[in-house]
Amino acid sequence: MAATQATTTTKSKVEASSTSTATTLSPRARIARQILIYHFILIGISCVYYLLRGFDFEEFTSLMGILAPVTAMYGGAVFRYIGRSITEPNLNGKNSQPINNMVRWLVNGHFVTVMLLISLKALAPNILNFQDMTMFLTLVESALGVYMGNIILALFEPEAKKSDK
C-alpha cells in the first residue's frame, strides 16, 4: 500500500512539473517566436503600406526582394529548431548559460530599425525616398544581419555532440 501511494505521489509530481515546464517557454523558444513574429509583421505591414499606396508596384517588389530572403533564412533556422525540439524534448530545456540582454536588444533594435525605414518611406516619402530607404535597409541588413546570423546560429543550430569516453 505504501509503495503504491509513493509511486502515485511521485507520478503526480512528475506530471505536474512536466506540465508547468511545457507552459513556460525557454529563452530560445521566446527568441525564436519573437524573430518569426517580427519578420512576418514587417512583411504584413509592407503589404498594408502597398495597399495604402505607400509603395508603387516596383518599389514593393524590390522591398519584398530584400525582406523575403532574410525572413526565409531566419525562419528556416527557427523551424529546424522547432522540428528538432519535437523529436528531442530536452532541446527546449534551460540553456547552459543565460541569454544575454544584448541578444534581446539586437533582435528588437533590428526590427525597430527596419520598421522605421519602411514606415518613413511609406508614410513620409518627402523625408525618405525609395532609393534612400533601400540603401539604408541594405546597410542595416548587412551590418546587423551579420550579428543576427551569428545569434541565429548560436541559438538554433545543433551543438557539437560530445564523444563519450
pLDDT of residue 100: 56
For residue 12, what pLDDT is reported? 52
pLDDT score for 104: 76
Q: What pLDDT score does 39 carry?
A: 87
User: How much is the pLDDT for 115?
Assistant: 94
Per-domain boundaries in the chain = 26-156
3-state SS record for the chain: CHHHHHHHHHHHHHHHHHHHHHHCCCHHHHHHHHHHHHHHHHHHHHHHHHHCCCCCHHHHHHHHHHHHHHHHHHHHHHHHHHHHHHHCHHHHCCCCCCCCHHHHHHHHHHHHHHHHHHHHHHHCCCCCCHHHHHHHHHHHHHHHHHHHHHHHHHHHCCCCCCCCC
pLDDT for position 163: 46
pTM of this prediction?
0.68
Report residue 156 as a C-alpha cell: 538554433
pLDDT, one tens digit for every residue, the chain (165 residues): 555 555 555 555 545 444 444 457 777 778 878 888 898 899 999 999 999 999 999 999 999 998 888 888 877 777 777 676 666 666 554 544 445 566 777 788 889 999 999 999 999 989 999 999 999 998 888 877 777 777 777 777 666 554 444
